[in-house]
Structure 1
């Protein structure tokens, strides 16, 4: 699935995909979506799993982080 095939997911970070009923992860710096090895968007059933993946995928420091 290409980036232009996910217009319903706006913004960055962790986003809920209502059609798939999954959370998706997007890099704030590059705009790149987290994908599986086969190229499909990675989906997470829980926000906490998606947030954990996003913190690894999005590598810049946030306010308050050391």
Structure 2
């Protein structure tokens, strides 16, 4: 991920996060730490938490038994 893809310093953690500077939700993979990108290579942004959560569920690989 290049510097242009790093969200604001206030955005940290994993899963679905609100980006106060972008005024949208961002999605981060808990297993790899990577941020979800859109088809143009920019950070994916969502205005609805419900839609962002659905995107996270697809983006986050299912955990195996025992993890």
The answer to whether the superposition gives a TM-score over 0.5 is yes
Count of residues paired in the alignment? 62
Root-mean-square deviation over aligned CA pairs: 1.9
Q: Does 1:2 align with 2:5?
A: yes
In 1, distance between residues paired with 2:45 and 2:34?
14
Q: Which residue of 2 aligns with 1:58?
A: 60
Which of 12, 23, 29 is the equivalent residue of 2:14? 12
Q: Report deviation, 1:10.
A: 0.5
CA offsets 1:21-52 (integer angstroms, 9 cap, x no match): 10000000000100012211000001000000
Q: Which runs of 5+ in 2 are unaligned?
A: none
The unaligned stretches of length 5 or more in structure 1 are none
CA distance in 1, matches of 2:28, 2:38: 13
TM-score calculated relative to the size of structure 1: 0.81
Say whether 1:46 aligns with 2:48.
yes
